[in-house]
Amino acid sequence: MRKTLIYSGKWLVVMLLFSFSCSRIAVKKPFEQVLLSKEQVEEMLFDIYLIEGKARVMIYNESAERVRLLVNYEMKKMFERYNTSYQQFTESYSYYMGDESVSQKMMSNITNRLIVLEAEQTKKNKLVDSFKRKSIDSLHIYEIKTTNYEFFKH
């Protein structure tokens, strides 16, 4: 069941993100009031990648239903945060992905941000690991000192 969710989830993301960018069909510009800014679409795509990453990690420890609920909840929160709808996002996404130079720039920006975020997270993880090792070493030293003290006390 989990593998089915992973494969269907990947297929959905691939379809959503790249189906429009590969087409050569000219996309008519929607009404200005419907069209989101390039920056807003880029921010939302970045958030979608983060949600997808969280789901990929969770799928190994949680049920498929729980992961689906989390993704739905996170997506709903995202649309509320940007004060937009799924339809408005997909129309704007389709419009910007219809322009090859714009879509390449947006995807490049997102990729760069993800790389920076990953590097920052790796650095934080190393600091936490280092702190854990030092704490464990301190506990061992304390344990040795108290054990030796009690040994000499008798």
Domain boundaries, the chain: 2-121
Q: Which residues, at least 6 apart from 41, have a Cβ–Cβ distance to it below 8 Å?
A: 89, 92, 93, 96, 106
Nearest alpha-carbon partner for 98 in 35, 22, 33: 22
- On the 0-12 / 13-18 / 19+ scale of CB atoms within 10 A, 7 is exposed
pLDDT band at 69 (very low <50, low <70, confident <90, very high): very high
The tens digit of pLDDT for each residue in 95-150 reads 999 999 999 999 999 999 999 999 998 888 887 777 666 666 555 555 555 555 55
pTM attached to this predicted model: 0.63
- Find out whether 31 and 88 touch, Cβ atoms under 8 Å: no
| Whole-number percent of the chain with pLDDT over 70 | 63
**SS3 (DSSP) at 32:** coil
Average pLDDT, the chain: 78
pLDDT of residue 21: 52
Q: What is the pLDDT of residue 78?
A: 96
Q: How far apart, in whole angstroms, are the C-alpha atoms of residue 69 and residue 48?
A: 15
- Residues 6 or more apart whose Cβ sits within 8 Å of residue 47: 78
